[in-house]
Amino acid sequence: MSNHGHRVEELDRVTIRFAGDSGDGMQSAGQQFTNTSAVFGNDVSTMPDFPAEIRAPAGSIPGVSAFQVSFSSHDIHTPGDVPDVLVAMNPAALQAHLGDLPKGATLIVNSDEFTETNLKKADYDSNPLEDGSLAGYRLVKAPVSTMNARALKDSGLNTKQIDRSKNFFALGLMFWLYERPLEPTLRWIHDRFGKNPEVASANETTLRAGYNFGETAELFPVHYRVPPAHLPPGRYRNITGNEATALGFVAASVRSGRPLFYGSYPITPASDILHELARLKSFGVRTFQAEDEIAAVGAAIGAAFGGSLGLTGTSGPGLALKSEAIGLAVMTELPIVIAAIQRSGPSTGMPTKIEQTDLLQVMFGRNGECPVAVVAPATPVECFDMAIEAFRIALRHMVPTVFLSDGYLATGSQPWRLPEIEDLPRIEVKFATDPETFRPYERDPDTLARPWAIPGTPGLEHRIGGLEKADGTGNVSYSPENHWRMVRYRAEKVERIAEDIPELEVIGDEEGELLVLGWGSTYGAIITAVERARADGASVSCAHLRYLNPFPHNLGDVLSRFEKVLIPELNLGQLRMLIRSRYLVDAKGLNKVTGRPFLTSEIQAEIGAMLTSKVPVS
């Protein structure tokens, strides 16, 4: 019992979805809740879901912005299939998200916003708070707008500013309901609004008012505690995939001793990488906001020619524009990295929604036989390691390398155990310097990499370009034999990277009836589904590819040890196509292209359906 007579119940895991108008500050409320829970010691996983429009008409369904956070006393891999709690700040948010809320779950609404006008904007004919349609839920009607306005009536802010603070009232209420400390958010408020003390003070006031409202109002008979998780010891921070990506590239720069150059044109969901890197000038990071996607990659190629880490970043539509230039980097064998943060397509598609539909574009979307290396992080935190890995491969093998992430990883967050700097890979860079032995297209016998000879080195003056190169000298060549040799060199060079990457790891038994093979951001849903099925006694294992070109050399062997292979992907079967053609394995696909990630239950159901020894689907 807490000191106000509320019962405290201990829970293992809770998933909350904050939903409101784009202008209601749901992303920031969700982020604060996440950060607080992470600092408190829970494992957390998040999924923001926002419209591409900055401000769709207020109160409309297209204007709804949501943030889902799952926090737990054990380690978790997904932001949760369905929320336990939905916080709906207006009727449109309720209309848009109620469908995902299971019966019996808690529904907290800002009852003040359920006016006739707002109900109409959200396509409600009658008020759901009164017509009995929400009977199956634990409905909590909280007058958030009026309580917030009352708390801030002496704040000195105008009505509009006051109304803008109501997300912090709701946040305070949720902090009370789940016994969260206020300090991390108070610190954030004062860092963020330090220069604007009135706003800072108002946010603090309403945050506390929301918290106290929970304690004093008789809305909740019970409040909850989710104890800290037993995570491996170390220092942690919460981090999104895009932040981790940017830091990984900076780490690659520090560990290779070469300056980082980032050429990019703003595009959702990759722009945060540009924002992050643009503020890291003290690391010698040069960011170039280019006039278009082609200029961004062209400049990265120029930077790589000069001896810097040449990086460009984009999403699907931008990647399509960069194709020709990536081919130039393949031909000139310069070590650029292309960060491709996938989103829903084709064409402009749904910019803020999630898909894995650019794998084949990355593999084959160029003219000619034009192989590149491809790595793909599986979690937001892994974005850090795979960003370093992308440059390690690019530099060691002198090959353009794609870092293939997606919007789910980019904007999702999880706790990150900070690495020891000395444990990070050291990337060795060797420039050619000897005019006596230098030949621009001489190859390293192990890797087939050509030398990196940068302008400014006396005696090594040479010309490169997009025309076919003569083996060794790099002069222009139209010889059929030479072209055949060079095409195979470029392919073989990428194939040999397989000797330089870790083997594919199988989670679960090394052999059995079913292998679930995945790549990218589906990892969390896959591993959770497989763990649950295994707990039910199913003969199922999983393996997750972080290296998509080349594949780890034991992949064929792993596939051969299972009777069946299931490949869940947020596309129509792109990895499956590669696996089937390469290994002649009759892999089945579980495919979904809705702009939404997999639910664990969807994968679990498919596992159940594929196993002959039927296991119950829990």
Partner 1 sequence: MTTEAKEQPPRTGPPAGAPAEPPRLGRKDFVSDQEVRWCPGCGDYSVLAQTQKLMPELGIPRENIVFISGIGCSSRLPYYMNTYGFHGIHGRAPTIATGLKATRPDLHVWVVTGDGDALSIGGNHLLHVLRRNVDLVMVLFNNRIYGLTKGQYSPTSEVGKRTKSSPAGTIDYPLNPLSVALGAEATFAARSLDIDVHHLIETLDRAAKHKGTSFVEVYQNCNVYNDGAFMEFADKAVRPDRTVLLEQGKPLIFGKDRDQGIRLNGTTPEVVRLGENGVTEADLLVHDETRHDPAIAYILARMEFPEYPVPMGVFRAVSRPTYDELMEQQIRDAQTQHGEGDLGALLSEGDTWVVE
- Pattern 471-510, binding to partner 1, x per CB under 8 A? ----xx----------------------------------
Among 66, 101, 267, 328, binds partner 1 (CB under 8 A): 328
CA 558-563-567 angle, 5° bins:
70
Give least dist CB 443 to partner 1, A.
20
- Judging by DSSP bridges, how do beta strands 43-49 and 64-72 pair with one another? antiparallel
Name the 3-class secondary structure at 41: coil
DSSP SS3 for 232: coil
C-alpha to C-alpha distance for 94 and 112, rounded to whole angstroms: 13
| Of 27, 332, 401, 574, the one binding partner 1 by CB under 8 A | 332
**Nearest-approach distance from CB 39 to partner 1, in angstroms:** 5
What six digits make up the tokens of 88?
């709906």
- Sole binder of partner 1 in the list 157, 217, 460, 605 (CB under 8 A): 460
280 binds partner 1 (CB under 8 A): yes
CA 516, CA 538: separation in Å to the nearest integer? 12
| Distance (Å) of CA 4 to CA 141, 226, 369, 471 | 20, 19, 71, 81
Least distance CB 608 / partner 1 (angstroms):
35
**Among the listed residues 114, 127, 133, the one whose alpha carbon sits nearest the alpha carbon of residue 59:** 114
Q: Which is nearer to partner 1, 142 or 189 (CB)?
A: 189
- 296, 297, 298, 299 alpha-carbon torsion, rounded to 10°: 60
Task: Show the binding pattern over residues 48-67: x = contacts partner 1 (CB under 8 A), - = does not.
Answer: --------------------
Q: Which of 57, 459, 502, 537 binds partner 1 (CB under 8 A)?
A: 459
Among 158, 282, 437, 613, binds partner 1 (CB under 8 A): 282
Lookup result for tokens 């392919």: 491
Q: Is 284 helix (H, G, I), strand (E, B) or coil?
A: coil
Q: DSSP letter at 474?
A: -
Binding segment toward partner 1, per CB under 8 A, in 81-89, 244-252, 357-365, 370-378: 244-252
3-state secondary structure of 114: coil
- In the complex, minimum distance from the CB of residue 183 to partner 1, in angstroms, rounded to a whole number: 10
Q: How many residues bind partner 1 (CB under 8 A)?
A: 84
User: How far is Cα 30 from Cα 32, in angstroms, rounded to an integer?
Assistant: 5
The single residue listed with the structure tokens 């696909």 is: 589
Instruction: Tell the smallest beta-carbon distance from residue 593 to partner 1 (Å).
Output: 33
Question: Of 128-187, which residues contact partner 1 (CB under 8 A)?
Answer: 184, 187
Cβ-based nearer residue to partner 1, 20 or 184: 184
Which position among 211, 213, 249, 305 is part of the footprint of partner 1 (CB under 8 A)?
A: 305
Q: Residue 473 in contact with residue 441, Cβ under 8 Å? A: yes
Closest CB to partner 1 among residues 313, 552? 313
Residue 473, helix vs strand vs coil: coil
Comparing CB distances to partner 1, the nearer of 10 and 292 is 292
Question: Is 193 an interacting residue with respect to partner 1 (CB under 8 A)?
Answer: no
For partner 1, the closer of residues 288 and 519 by Cβ is 288
Binders of partner 1 in range 509-568 (CB under 8 A): none
Site string for partner 1, 99-138 (x = CB under 8 A): ----------------------------------------
The answer to the question of residue 301 lying near partner 1 (CB under 8 A) is: yes
Rounded least distance, CB 296 to partner 1, Å: 8
Cα separations in angstroms, 333 against 22, 441, 515: 45, 9, 37
- Find the binder of partner 1 among 11, 139, 231, 321 (CB under 8 A): 231
SS3 186: helix
Angle between helices 241-256 and 271-278 (to 10 degrees): 50
